[in-house]
Structure 1
Amino acid sequence: MALFVDSLPGCVRAAAFWTLVYSYCLLCACTAFIKLFCSILIRPRRTFKKISREVTPSCLNDPFLGTHCYVRIKDSGLRFHYVAAGERGKPLMLLLHGFPEFWYSWRHQLREFRREYRVVALDLRGYGETDAPSCKENYKLDYIIVDVKEILDSLGYSKCVLIGHDWGGMIAWLIAICYPEMVTKLIVLSFPHPTVFTEYILRHPSQLIKSGYYFFFQMPWLPELMYTINDYKILKDLFTSDTTGIRRQSCRFTKEDMEAYLYIFSQPGALSGPLNHYRNIFSCLPLKHHHVTMPTLLLWGENDAFVEVEMAELTRIYVKNYFQLSVLSQASHWLQQDQPELVNNLIWTFLEEERFRTKN
């Protein structure tokens, strides 16, 4: 399919690309309507049942995870929430979460790396306690990248170890490309280089199907509705089902962990901001080829239900520095929560090896 599209004139190629996007959006929307209709027929009461969640789960205020902080950046005027652990003045480790997550997805890393780093787990624009502009145009990738740059400045740092997972991984790649002077080391979990992703998805229908939610999220209001039915069943299943969830018994979500996620995403309007990130992605595609110039670690789950492992190895050609890839056996998409001890050890090893390599 991609070879055929590449051979077309520019205007025709653009038309073919957008025809694909909108056709798949329509298909995903029709599928969602059918699921909703069936749910209403079978379980009408349960379909629209939602539990009120007004009390903050205690795990979100655990002092051992760090301190809740806020910073307002100049360019947009938005107020960002983050949780910070470790002493001020230590090297900065900045953590960018994916979808549908928030700072709490990095709880294991906040505890682990505070010994040697100032660890900051950010709520991205539109997530959690960070401000959420209502207009979808405010979630373009260019704005998100500038957010991170300004937050770094506001924290009093000029550079950091940057770690991103899933959508936060996409942002981390782009920051490393656009502002290489800001990133001493790049660590990405469960997302390939953006150019690999855009080229691979056009050539592999299996990945196109796995990324169907990108297209579904282009619809107005319907994705928000689908996430709320049956008291946020889709959200629960993402982290707990046999298909997409965390499988290791010792690392599965506790009831309190799940309630933390449900509390955050059940707040009024809490889903629109995260979904608006995706509603801007096709205006930024296809991306040009860009190289990453800092040492890079890529971690991938063998059982990732959303991104195919073949993309991990293809990423290597875009890193013009030391590149390390580790595929974690039996791991799901939610790596830093699924296998936190192994992920932390791999990150420590990468950081220490790179430090030793630099000295010599």
Structure 2
Amino acid sequence: MARVLNNLLLFLIRLALKIRVWGYWSLIYGYCALCTTAALLKLCWNIVLRPTTTFQWGIRETPPACLNDTSLGTHCYVRIKESGLRFHYIAAGERGKPLMLFLHGFPEFWFSWRYQLREFKSEFRVVAVDMRGYGESDLPLSTESYQLDHLVTDVKDIVEYLGYNRCCLVGHDWGGTIAWLFAIHYPEMVTKLIVLNCPHPSVFTDYALRHPSQLLKSSHFFFFQLPRFPELMLSINDFKALKALFTSRSTGIGRKGRWLTAEDLEAYLYALSQPGALTGALNYYRNVFRWGDDSYLISFFFL
């Protein structure tokens, strides 16, 4: 009798977990479907109203002069033995000074830190890295290559390659997420942690699950789960959506006198227009809901 009850209990637990997992993925992909429908309607509306809409990728062949500004630092490359990936970074300041490492977000690259490189190079060895899949760093083809544990390990490998065992870590957006996780996993390697535009992962997850309005504001997380279609939406009409992301008053730099220059904007479009660049950037989002030790959103969903 005890064995029957035990087996029944195990069956009920497994069934409850399966129902919960099924419900979780139904929520994820149901929301993806809603976001896709909205994007398709917007695309069709633009085609009807603007027949000249182009679907060309508009790859930029020549980098703007600002990317070769020597006052920002020296362009360097490192190939990490463990991952086999080559990373590009800009370094300035005297060797031997404390390391300040900058991690950019989406959809950016090392150029986002141009002002900070100039500002802090007198006191630090400043390094702004192109994250994997961005800029001149290698772009792995598989989506799984962008899981959070790989991204955190990248930071550790780069710090050690630079000859340091600790750093002042600065992260923005996705770079902020990785900075949080790096500090959690390797606290002894972080002297100071500065995070911009990215709350602590557990705080964000708890808040998002308790406030549906935040899920609506984070709807791009769900839309970006789709293959290829987000790349299309971001690139059509000569990257109009990306231009708006950087320059609109709601999402871009809208402060009077602080707007991006035409050359600055072209620098971002040059980096993101290269073959596979948008896919590499979007693959960060495509691993958010995957199982894994560092898949914080799904982990906290089941707490």
- Picking from 195, 198, 204, the partner of 1:197 is 204
Does the 8 Å contact 1:85/1:120 carry over to 2?
Answer: yes
Secondary structure at the counterpart of residue 64 of structure 1? helix
In the alignment, does 2:177 pair up with 1:170? yes
Match runs of 1:72-221 below 5 Å: 72-221=79-228
Match runs of 1:237-276 below 5 Å: 237-276=244-283
Q: What residue is the counterpart of 1:286 in the other structure?
A: 297
Larger Rg: 2
1:51 Cα deviation (Å)?
4.1
Closer/same/farther in 2, CA of residues 224 and 183 from structure 1, 3 Å limit: same
In the alignment, does 2:21 pair up with 1:14? yes
1:11 Cα deviation (Å)?
3.6
In the alignment, does 2:38 pair up with 1:27? no
Q: What residue is the counterpart of 2:47 in the other structure?
A: 40
Does the 8 Å contact 1:195/1:287 carry over to 2?
Answer: no
Q: Residue 131 of structure 2 aligns to which amino acid in structure 1? A: L
Relative to the length of structure 2, the TM-score reads 0.90
In the alignment, does 2:231 pair up with 1:224? yes
1:85 Cα deviation (Å)?
1.1
The count of corresponding residues between Structure 1 and Structure 2 is 282
1:275 Cα deviation (Å)?
0.5
Whole-angstrom CA distance in 2 between matches of 1:230 and 1:164: 31
CA displacement, residues 71-124 of structure 1 (integer Å, 9 cap, x when unaligned): 000111000000111111110000000000100000110000001100000100
Secondary structure at the counterpart of residue 75 of structure 2? strand
1:213 Cα deviation (Å)?
0.6
Does the 8 Å contact 1:170/1:194 carry over to 2?
Answer: yes
Q: Residue 123 of structure 2 aligns to which amino acid in structure 1? A: E
Gap runs ≥5 in structure 2: 1-14
Q: Residue 209 of structure 1 aligns to which amino acid in structure 2? A: L
Does the 8 Å contact 1:92/1:117 carry over to 2?
Answer: yes
Gap runs ≥5 in structure 1: 1-7, 290-360
Secondary structure at the counterpart of residue 214 of structure 1? helix
Whole-angstrom CA distance in 2 between matches of 1:44 and 1:80: 41
1:26 Cα deviation (Å)?
1.1
Whole-angstrom CA distance in 2 between matches of 1:281 and 1:147: 17
1:10 Cα deviation (Å)?
3.8
Structure with bigger RCO (C-alpha 8 Å, 6+ apart): 2
CA displacement, residues 178-210 of structure 1 (integer Å, 9 cap, x when unaligned): 111110111000110001111111111111011
Whole-angstrom CA distance in 1 between matches of 2:100 and 2:298: 27
Does the 8 Å contact 2:55/2:232 carry over to 1?
Answer: no
Whole-angstrom CA distance in 2 between matches of 1:237 and 1:13: 38
1:42 Cα deviation (Å)?
1.9
CA displacement, residues 301-334 of structure 1 (integer Å, 9 cap, x when unaligned): xxxxxxxxxxxxxxxxxxxxxxxxxxxxxxxxxx
1:9 Cα deviation (Å)?
4.6
1:49 Cα deviation (Å)?
5.0
Does the 8 Å contact 1:159/1:183 carry over to 2?
Answer: yes
Q: What residue is the counterpart of 1:68 in the other structure?
A: 75
Secondary structure at the counterpart of residue 91 of structure 2? strand
Does the 8 Å contact 2:59/2:274 carry over to 1?
Answer: no
Q: What residue is the counterpart of 2:12 in the other structure?
A: none
